[in-house]
Structure 1
Amino acid sequence: MLVDGRLSFDALQRRMVTAPAKARELVAAAPASYVAFDLLAVAGVELRTQRWIVRRGRLEQLATSFSPPLQLTPVTADLEEAREWFDVLPAAKASRVWS
């Protein structure tokens, strides 16, 4: 789900914990997105034996045609950028065991 233009797993979890009677209202008020990280198969071709970087490349090719609610999760090989992403996630801060 998007909150202030950013993906929010916390908002998605709050949306999922509800009575079935409220589901229709929540779907309209807080639409969810599908965020893809990996691609395990495409067009009937199994990709799980391929390295992740190959699967990710195929997924990124497919994602050029994505539009909301389909989204591609960001990835980085930059350690500092990864630390910054980790630091802005509230749940990650609560469970982090190193500094």
Structure 2
Amino acid sequence: MRITCPLCGDRDSREFSIRGHETYLDRPAPDAGEAAWDDYLHLRDNPAGETAELWYHGAGCAAWLRVRRNTVTHEVLKVDLVRDVTGGDHAD
């Protein structure tokens, strides 16, 4: 699979680490309670089809990316810098 980093260009996916679904950025409030934090940390959707995921370009520019791809075909549909879609790089 190839991922086109907005900063580095077309790269092999082995340069990146997947960090999970983009909803990972939606953390519960610090006082949300044990059940909310347990769900956030341990329950993950595993959708078949189009999804948005967080990827880290560790072997390149060290940018956090939102990768929209099809989990069935592995086709990469769009790649954005996280800081451009959230107003800041929340994934450090």
Q: Which has the higher helix share?
A: 1
- TM > 0.5 fold call: no
- TM-score w.r.t. the length of structure 2 is 0.25
Greater RCO, 1 or 2 (C-alpha within 8 Å, sep 6+):
2
Q: Radius of gyration: which is bigger?
A: 1
Q: Which has the higher strand share?
A: 2
